[in-house]
Structure 1
Amino acid sequence: MSLGGSGKAMPPGWFVGCGNMGGAMVAGWVRAGRDLSKLTAISPSGREVPGVTVATDYPDEHPDWVWLGHKPYQVEQVAERLAPKAKGAVILSILAGVECASLRRLFPDARAVVRLMPNLPVSHGEGVTGLYSNDADAALKAEISDVIGDLGLAPWGQAEADLTAISTVAGSGPAYVARFVAALAKQAEALGLDADTAHAIALQTVAGTGLMARSSGEGMADLAVRVASPGGSTQAGLDVLDAENGMDELVARTVAAARRRTEEMAAEARG
């Protein structure tokens, strides 16, 4: 879902703690042709982040944007040194569970505080990144949307709770889809296929269904009806998924558990 190579420059800034998710975002920007020459990844270990310059400490300059990608529990420790260097900067946080109020308390002199909840497919321009800010103006939001648009879908939440909802589904969702693909492949093996073929078939089926649905705009219920003939084998399987305690109930319990943990982390950050 990438918008294509922009060639536009990233605002001068730092990516503090550019780990797995931060690295996925950088990979997506590189893939989209974004100019990252003004972005520096801050990594005490000096671990390479392909596509950007890496520094082991904060440069002697004033960043326009500061991305927070370290572990959420480190936010107090990081802010103690970072906040004085980031006066007037836009704080863009991908820290799960750390709310805007907590970030504003830790970075009182920031120009604006923005929360982002990306998922791993941003590395291929096919991600979902939930966005929320209660103090960014329209011009800044448009600039952020342009940058994040390189990575896929980037909806703004009207309330911070919307961001939690987006991240609970989209942020955790790739893990759940991966489990479904693995389960489908396991059953293909049980029917006699070798492991590699079973995995390839399951993965292509899920990927192809998603691409077909997105390009056609067809609803999921309509797509299922089109695949399943009345009284046929597909319908027999759907009857299991649609039964009480079936797919809807399983997904509801899964998402509720993830949301509950997100709320616990937010409480820990506030405390």
Structure 2
Amino acid sequence: MNPQQGSSIEGQIGFLGAGSIVEAMLSGIIKKGLVSPRQILVSNRNNQERLDQLARSFSVQVTQDKHALVQSCDILILAIKPKDAAEALMELRGAVRPGQLVISVIAGVATSLIEEWLGVECSIIRTMPNTSSAIGLSATGVACNRFVSEAQLQIATQLFESIGTVYTVAEEELDIVTGLSGSGPAYIYYLVEAMVGAGTKAGLPRETARQLTLQTLLGAAHMLLDTSEEPALLRQKVTSPGGTTQAGLEVLEAYQFQEAVSSAILRATERSRELGAQYR
């Protein structure tokens, strides 16, 4: 482990689940030197081939014995599908120790419900990363239950900063995080589809339209980040009276573009609440 790369985290880390978010986290925390591969144990339901793949890629330990994983780890990361969560966690009832830190990446499942299923009062941190974690650029919201200490929150923050940026919120705000940044990449991809499609329809080769669109998005994102100016002000600077940008914006306004985006985020937030409610 390279001590130059971030602060190291002590103890064993167990991942219950072996999907794409786990792979992204393994890549991030090992690359940044937060932990060494020998500190990590990964388990899943029954896909030994997937476990073997992660073992080869990251030199981590793997097992299909969930109880052995829980007994050996200090930090338990729950990365299982919501539909499997109740059964999987109730199988572990009584196995989790009060002193363990439990971090959940299970969408929509409240910390109180995880505590109930596990049958123990323990520190639980609920998180909502997004798919950009695969390239280390996730925007992750984290929320804590009443047992989480500052030191434990710092550990979780370090882990998720290895795959992007981290924002601490109240648990009831995680549904909003889900609607905004959890689902957000899909809205951007949808916009890109439309822009590339329009460029192609107007006569550009598809790859040229794609590259122009992506560079435009990248430049706009950096303008927002680097100047810290409000998006409305930056938009006004691009929009000359009677010019091409104004003509395009008038069409977006006619189609109620901002209202559509806002409604999409609010509906996704509402849907997150609906999905969470079915587990309560």
Same fold by TM (over 0.5)?
yes
Per-residue CA distance 1:251-271 (angstroms, 9 max, x = gap): 12211321222112111111x
Ranges in structure 1 where 5+ consecutive residues have no aligned partner: none
Q: Pick the aligned partner of 1:148 from 152, 155, 160.
A: 160
> 3-state DSSP class of the match of 1:84?
coil
In structure 1, what is the equivalent of residue 42 of structure 2?
41
In structure 2, what is the equivalent of residue 17 of structure 1?
17
Per-residue CA distance 1:75-110 (angstroms, 9 max, x = gap): 111112223332232111111110111111112325
Q: Pick the aligned partner of 2:116 from 84, 91, 105.
A: 105
2:85 paired with 1:85: no
> 3-state DSSP class of the match of 2:142?
strand
> 3-state DSSP class of the match of 1:242?
helix
Q: Percent identity over the alignment?
A: 28
The 5-angstrom pairing of residues 102-141 of structure 1 reads 102-135=113-146, 136-141=148-153
In structure 2, what is the equivalent of residue 234 of structure 1?
245
In structure 2, what is the equivalent of residue 73 of structure 1?
83
The 5-angstrom pairing of residues 51-62 of structure 1 reads 51=58, 52-58=60-66, 59=68, 61-62=71-72
Distance 1:187 1:150, change over 3 A: same
Q: Report the Cα offset of residue 208 of structure 1.
A: 2.1
Question: In the alignment, is the contact (CA less than 8 A) between 1:123 and 1:151 conserved in 2?
Answer: yes
> 3-state DSSP class of the match of 1:269?
coil
Q: Report the Cα offset of residue 124 of structure 1.
A: 2.5
Counterpart-to-counterpart distance in 2, 1:17 and 1:153: 22
Distance 1:20 1:102, change over 3 A: same
Runs of 4+ in 1 over 6 A off after TM superposition: none
In structure 1, what is the equivalent of residue 5 of structure 2?
5
State TM-score, norm by structure 2. Answer: 0.87
**Higher RCO (C-alpha under 8 Å, 6+ residues apart):** 1
In structure 2, what is the equivalent of residue 249 of structure 1?
259
Distance 1:10 1:214, change over 3 A: farther
Counterpart-to-counterpart distance in 2, 1:187 and 1:33: 44
Q: Report the Cα offset of residue 206 of structure 1.
A: 0.9
Ranges in structure 2 where 5+ consecutive residues have no aligned partner: none
User: How many residue pairs were aligned?
Assistant: 265
In structure 2, what is the equivalent of residue 163 of structure 1?
174
Counterpart-to-counterpart distance in 1, 2:219 and 2:18: 31
Q: Report the Cα offset of residue 174 of structure 1.
A: 0.7
Question: In the alignment, is the contact (CA less than 8 A) between 1:31 and 1:125 conserved in 2?
Answer: no
Alignment RMSD, CA only? 2.0
Q: Report the Cα offset of residue 219 of structure 1.
A: 1.5
Counterpart-to-counterpart distance in 2, 1:36 and 1:152: 19
Q: Report the Cα offset of residue 169 of structure 1.
A: 0.6
Q: Report the Cα offset of residue 31 of structure 1.
A: 4.1
Per-residue CA distance 1:136-174 (angstroms, 9 max, x = gap): 1222112222222222221111x2221111121111101
